[in-house]
Amino acid sequence: MLGEIIGPDILIVLAVVVLLFGGSQLPKLARSLGSAKQEFERGLRQDSEEHDPKSV
């Protein structure tokens, strides 16, 4: 389903996001999404290191 999102759909979603959060809140939102992504990736790396059969 996500593979079917094309240009006009993305523009509509971005317009809705701007309307909901406003221009001043978008940098804060982007920063929080970036830090959440980093924490998620850090957790994945730690989990894979703990369960890596080579390190046992």
The answer, yes or no, to whether residue 22 has pLDDT greater than 90, is no
Q: CA-CA distance, 45 to 55, in Å (whole number)? A: 14
Which has the higher per-residue pLDDT, 11 or 51?
11
pLDDT band at 54 (very low <50, low <70, confident <90, very high): low
42 has a pLDDT exceeding 90: yes
**Can you give the three-state secondary structure of 24-54, one letter per residue?**
CCHHHHHHHHHHHHHHHHHHHHHHHHHCCHH
What are residue 24's phi and psi, to 5 degrees? -75, -25
Distance CA 40, CA 16 (A): 26
Q: Which residue has the higher pLDDT, 2 or 23?
A: 23
Q: What is the pLDDT of residue 56?
A: 47
pLDDT of residue 1: 54
